[in-house]
A and B are shown apart, each in its own frame.
Chain A
Amino acid sequence: AQKITQTQPGMFVQEKEAVTLDCTYDTSDPSYGLFWYKQPSSGEMIFLIYQGSYDQQNATEGRYSLNFQKARKSANLVISASQLGDSAMYFCAMREISSGNTPLVFGKGTRLSVIA
């Protein structure tokens, strides 16, 4: 069974600094996808970034990048130049692909607080 672990319940970062949110995963499927979502205090779930297990390069989307270390089964989210609006819950999620479009399995999340 697939599993996602986020070991940091809460993180603080100074505005304009970079921050790394940790995510490790466990799966026996060689084909899988990794996702990061942001949930601000308003409650909506916002898709940030995706990394496929066979992608050769680490994914990047603006200030977001995914530090994908396949051998270590980690998919850490890096946010550069933090802004006050980055304060939110962040969820790592995974989908196993070999058996089709399976639902995402989520980690428990990390609450990021950006300090001015």
Chain B
Amino acid sequence: NAGVTQTPKFRVLKTGQSMTLLCAQDMNHEYMYWYRQDPGMGLRLIHYSVGEGTTAKGEVPDGYNVSRLKKQNFLLGLESAAPSQTSVYFCASSSIGTGKNEQFFGPGTRLTVL
């Protein structure tokens, strides 16, 4: 099993450009998440999904959109990139249930917006 994969691994954008980050998981997990990691800030939740066709906002959703058309995929879109969106983006997934449902993370995407 590949676990959680993210595409691309690195990307450089110019201000105003758009892009989509793809997250895929092969563990049949219901829940998927997008976080961003900035120096000294830990991981902050952008959006998440509790099932196919559903999404919800996290702590820092502005400037991002998401879609969960298939259970195994969770897309993160930046319509008009800004330098403040320079960050490392992590996707994660977890199974249904409460308690010790660890989130499995992808390897991350390093995005630079010039």
Please name the residue on chain A nearest to B31 by beta carbon. A101
B27-44 interface with A by 8 A CB criterion: 31, 33, 35, 40-44
Q: Give chain B's interface residues, CB within 8 Å of chain A.
A: 31, 33, 35, 40-45, 48, 50, 58, 88, 90, 92, 94, 96-105, 107-108
Contact with B along A58-100 (1 / 0, CB 8 A): 0000000000000000000000000000000001010101001
Please name the residue on chain A nearest to B58 by beta carbon. A103
With A43-B88, A44-B105, A44-B107 as contacts: A101 and B98 at CB distance below 8 Å: yes
Classify chain A's interface size.
20 to 34
User: Are A103 and B48 interface neighbours, CB within 8 A?
Assistant: yes
| A contact residues around B90 at 8 Å (CB) | 45
A22 to B41 CA separation, bound complex (whole angstroms) = 16
A100 to B30 CA separation, bound complex (whole angstroms) = 13
Count of chain A to chain B residue pairs whose CB atoms are closer than 8 Å in the complex? 61
With A103-B33, A106-B43, A108-B41 as contacts: A97 and B98 at CB distance below 8 Å: yes
With A101-B50, A106-B42 as contacts: A50 and B100 at CB distance below 8 Å: yes
A37 to B94 CA separation, bound complex (whole angstroms) = 15
User: Are A44 and B108 interface neighbours, CB within 8 A?
Assistant: yes
Q: Give chain A's interface residues, CB within 8 Å of chain B.
A: 4, 6, 9, 31, 33, 35, 37, 43-45, 47, 50, 52, 91, 93, 95, 97, 100-101, 103-109
Please name the residue on chain B nearest to A1 by beta carbon. B59
* 21 A-B residue pairings within 8 Å (CB atoms): A9-B40, A31-B98, A33-B98, A44-B107, A44-B108, A45-B92, A47-B102, A47-B103, A47-B104, A50-B100, A50-B102, A52-B99, A95-B101, A101-B96, A105-B45, A106-B42, A106-B43, A107-B42, A108-B40, A108-B42, A109-B42
